[in-house]
């Protein structure tokens, strides 16, 4: 069984406000792909965030998606998204 992906309210709001439909679709595709953790990490540009346990970032063009992995509960929390 895969992981459940939970998206923070501010992440959903950020994605809804994006004007570029292609970027919005790409970001949603990457977030939905997190259900297949850890296999999805091989095809994405993922790095661990230093100083934080089980917290990672994904680079999607100019955008960064920050997420936390709870292996015991099999839940991935997408906590933040921002432009670099």
Q: Rounded to an integer, what distance in angstroms lies between the CA atom of residue 46 and that of residue 44?
A: 6
Cβ atoms of residues 61 and 26 within 8 Å: yes
Q: Give how many domains the chain has, as a whole number.
A: 1
CATH number of the domain to which 73 belongs: 3.30.2310.20
Average pLDDT over residues 4-17: 94
What is the reported pTM?
0.89
| pLDDT number for residue 9 | 95
Q: Which tens digits make up the pLDDT trace of 27-53?
A: 999 999 999 888 887 888 889 999 998
Residue 75 token pair = 């839940």
Q: Determine the structural domain holding residue 62 and report its residue range.
A: 4-83
């Amino acid at each position: 069984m895969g992981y459940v992906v939970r998206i923070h309210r501010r992440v959903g709001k950020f994605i809804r406000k994006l004007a570029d439909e292609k970027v919005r679709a790409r970001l949603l595709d990457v977030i939905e792909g997190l259900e297949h953790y850890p296999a999805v990490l091989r095809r994405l540009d993922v790095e661990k965030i230093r100083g934080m346990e089980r917290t990672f970032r994904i680079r999607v063009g100019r955008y960064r998606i920050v997420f936390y992995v709870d292996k015991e509960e099999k839940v991935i929390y997408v906590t933040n998204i921002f432009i670099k």
